A and B are shown apart, each in its own frame.
Chain A
Amino acid sequence: MTDQDPLVQLEHVEKFFPVPRGFIAGLRSPGERPAVRAVDDVSLEIKRGEVLGLAGESGSGKSTVGRLVLRLLDPTGGKVLFDGVDLATLKPEAMRKERSRMQVVFQDPLASLNPRMTIGRAVAHPAQIHMPELNAKQRKEEVFEIFSAVGLDPPSYYYDKYPHQISGGQRQRVVIARGLITRPDLIVADEPIAMADVSVQALLLDLMMRLKDEFNLTYLFITHDLATTKYLCDRLAIMYLGRIVEIGTLREIFQNPQHPYTRALLAAVPVPDPRRRRTGSLPRGEIPNPINPPSGCHFHPRCPIAQAGVCDTERPQLLPVNRVDDHAVSCHLRTGAHQNLDPERLDA
């Protein structure tokens, strides 16, 4: 194992959720078991020390990927490797050890904190489990150190506070502190700033960047907000209905987006500058029902350049974009055997 090896590898990971049906429907067609393909053959790597952004609209499966990486969910198919080890093969004791190396920050800090536990105890709690060698005094010192690192200063002032006594932004700092105390390698941040006010978002983003360097962290940053990925991420993966449609370096995705869905998403982001109002057209309709997604390329019914006979029948593969490293797209018209059908080929 070298530093060059990725920290996390997803190999053809699938996660299907059965759809509950009524009793009568079950009697009528007993064989059928409808399922939402929340994650449908996803392969990706998170390199050591990078921030991988995972962006998509609601229902794209981005949060499910996050949970699979943490093994909060077991995959239906495929493998999740953490530091080269398939997490599914680990015994509970070994899994617990690995778990201290990966932590999670969710969107709603109030839901992540026990209202009856002081924030000092909340942050000390993981240390109690994962660092039994520390005595109570050492643990408290450890908490103080982490509190200072996340900007809860002075730590003694905050240590005995309850979650309701501090602001939303400070609560999210507590959640981050709790994640950091076991000195993890990986933080999965699932919409960590989505509930915060604009001015607080800026502070949290800045904090996350600083902590990354200070604690040598690797982030999986899950978000619906493409503007913030630009501020934080090294690479970006775009998901649509359980599949990755495009992945690459931030620069490639923003300056050379290939997938029509990526282009639509980027164009739709409102820009805080009235001189840059959007003029281009938008894709038709909304994300289809994931229980019964469109055939072929999931995006084809909304795609402005979809070609009948190809896009609606064959599933596109995630293939490297010509001559460009570290940029892959899953579109028949951009990569693979059908590129000659691309109506935008001349200006590509």
Chain B
Amino acid sequence: MTEETIYSIRNLDVEYDTRVGGVRAVDDLTLDIRKGEILGLVGESGCGKSTLGKGMMRTISTPGHIVGGELWFEGVDLMTLSEKQMADVRGNRIGMVFQDPMTSLNPLMRIVDHLTEAIRAHYPDVSEQAARERAVEMVKELGIRPERIDEYPHQFSGGMRQRIMIALVLALNGSLIIADEPTTALDVIVEAQFLDLLRKLREEFQLTILLITHNIGVVAEVADRVAVMYAGKIVEVGSVDSVFLETRHPYSRGLLRSVPNIDVDHQELYKMEGAPPNLVAPPTGCRFHPRCPYAVGLCSTGEPDLLATDNPEHRASCWIYSDRDDRPKDRLA
């Protein structure tokens, strides 16, 4: 992993129009993804993590739309591209993997046709034969027997279909994969196999992977860095060790402590009060303040930025890390 940024989200706003008004699912969100890293994006349902993934690809469909912000990828602000140029980036440079691969694969097309079609759509000069050879090469790399390439999607298991989705990205020399809950429908052993594969591909192809998931264990298993999302905002970001072992934001602390850990005996699970806010009318100030055990007056009036903690690589959007006099005094241990 390098310090070089491959994708930089700047002040992204995404809104969904509803009968009761606009819901800002992603609110003024800024996040850098570094080249070659696996960045885990975690949060509970409705926090906006999937919307963020789709926003990065500019594939948000009505009633949702990007209201503002910049999306810098490989030196270009994707927001400035035409729809046609964007379509090229999508298949070619950034690939997306979803929870249910059957929704992304055509049930009437053989696997080889998916792959060769994708290759030839982006590289029209490549012959049918060469595209097929490339497809075979890719599926082998992903642990699928090459003779299965002539089968249809329904003949594959869930884990194998996810591998095919990744093969599609690799066949096009994609450099970034946005994987939205890729292991959620998989059984635990297949999930572990898939995570091993992600690690291997990252090494071999210098892939960058944004892993969007609700599964805290999966993130701890493979991510290099972690970003925690709450109510449309990143509340904490840092290296996986730092976020798990020296958790800085009160929300992340509650979240991580409420996960059952198979390695711990007689674990006391943390019970978080309340529920995430309704984003039609989010709380003023810090969006977590109504549920936060540390909140003071300032938290309900001012919205904290992602502030550097004692570790500059580890940031948290909590007033505790500001130098204001009226900040919450209760330092998190």
Secondary structure type dominating chain A contacts:
helix
Q: Does B307 contact A (CB under 8 A)?
A: no
Whether the Cβ atoms of A274 and B244 lie closer than 8 Å is yes
CB-defined interface of A264-279 with B at 8 Å, one 1/0 digit per residue?
A: 1111111111111110
Q: Which of B217-267 contact A (CB under 8 A)?
A: 217-218, 220-221, 223, 240-241, 244-245, 254-256, 258-263, 265, 267
> Which of B218, B223, B275 neighbours the largest number of chain A CB atoms within 10 Å of its CB?
B275
Q: Does A332 contact B (CB under 8 A)?
A: no
Chain A residues near B221 (CB, 8 Å)?
A: 270-271, 274, 277-278
Whether the Cβ atoms of B263 and A273 lie closer than 8 Å is yes
> Given A271-B261, A274-B241, A282-B192, A231–B214 Cβ distance below 8 Å?
no
In the assembly, what is the distance between CA of A225 and CA of B260, in Å? 10
Selecting from B63-71, B102-110, B182-190, B293-301, the interface stretch reads B182-190
Name which residue of chain A comes closest to B272, CB basis: A199
Q: Which of A145-201 contact B (CB under 8 A)?
A: 167, 169, 197-199, 201
CB-defined interface of A243-284 with B at 8 Å, one 1/0 digit per residue?
A: 000000000001000000000111111111111111000110
**Within the complex, which residue of B45, B195, B261 is in contact with A227, where a contact is CB–CB below 8 Å?**
B261
Chain B residues near A287 (CB, 8 Å)?
A: 187
In the assembly, what is the distance between CA of A282 and CA of B44, in Å? 29
Whether the Cβ atoms of B271 and A264 lie closer than 8 Å is no
In the assembly, what is the distance between CA of A254 and CA of B196, in Å? 23
Closest CB-CB distance, A286 to chain B, in whole Å? 5
Q: Does A211 contact B (CB under 8 A)?
A: no
In the assembly, what is the distance between CA of A276 and CA of B245, in Å? 12
Name which residue of chain B comes closest to A273, CB basis: B220
Chain A residues near B187 (CB, 8 Å)?
A: 57-58, 224, 286-287
In the assembly, what is the distance between CA of A227 and CA of B269, in Å? 12
Chain B residues near A225 (CB, 8 Å)?
A: 188, 260
Chain A residues near B255 (CB, 8 Å)?
A: 198-199
Chain A residues near B265 (CB, 8 Å)?
A: 230
In the assembly, what is the distance between CA of A273 and CA of B271, in Å? 19
Chain A residues near B190 (CB, 8 Å)?
A: 286
Closest CB-CB distance, B287 to chain A, in whole Å? 15
Q: Does A317 contact B (CB under 8 A)?
A: no
CB-defined interface of B151-164 with A at 8 Å, one 1/0 digit per residue?
A: 00000010110000
Whether the Cβ atoms of B275 and A167 lie closer than 8 Å is yes
> Which of B223, B256, B262 neighbours the largest number of chain A CB atoms within 10 Å of its CB?
B262
Chain B residues near A266 (CB, 8 Å)?
A: 262
CB-defined interface of B258-290 with A at 8 Å, one 1/0 digit per residue?
A: 111111010101111001000000000000000
Q: Does A226 contact B (CB under 8 A)?
A: yes
Chain B residues near A57 (CB, 8 Å)?
A: 187-189
Whether the Cβ atoms of A227 and B217 lie closer than 8 Å is yes
Chain B residues near A277 (CB, 8 Å)?
A: 220-221
In the assembly, what is the distance between CA of A278 and CA of B196, in Å? 10
Whether the Cβ atoms of B220 and A270 lie closer than 8 Å is yes
Q: Does A81 contact B (CB under 8 A)?
A: no
Q: Does A43 contact B (CB under 8 A)?
A: no
> Which of B157, B191, B269 neighbours the largest number of chain A CB atoms within 10 Å of its CB?
B269
Name which residue of chain A comes closest to B189, CB basis: A268
In the assembly, what is the distance between CA of A271 and CA of B192, in Å? 11
Chain A residues near B271 (CB, 8 Å)?
A: 199, 202-203, 206
Whether the Cβ atoms of B244 and A265 lie closer than 8 Å is no
Name which residue of chain B comes closest to A168, CB basis: B45
Q: Does B216 contact A (CB under 8 A)?
A: yes
Q: Does B206 contact A (CB under 8 A)?
A: no
Q: Which of B133-183 contact A (CB under 8 A)?
A: 157, 159-160
In the assembly, what is the distance between CA of A197 and CA of B267, in Å? 19
Could you jot down 28 A-B contacts, CB within 8 Å? A57-B188, A197-B214, A198-B44, A198-B216, A198-B259, A199-B255, A202-B269, A202-B271, A202-B272, A205-B260, A206-B269, A230-B262, A230-B267, A231-B267, A231-B269, A269-B262, A270-B188, A270-B217, A271-B221, A271-B261, A272-B220, A272-B244, A273-B263, A274-B240, A276-B220, A276-B263, A286-B159, A286-B189
List of 4 A-B pairs having minimum Cβ-Cβ separation, nearest first: A270-B217, A202-B258, A57-B187, A268-B192
Mark B residues whose CB is within 8 Å of A: 44-45, 157, 159-160, 187-193, 195-196, 214-218, 220-221, 223, 240-241, 244-245, 254-256, 258-263, 265, 267, 269-272, 275
Further pairs besides A227-B217, A228-B260, A271-B220: 5, Cβ < 8 Å: A198-B44, A226-B188, A230-B267, A271-B261, A286-B190
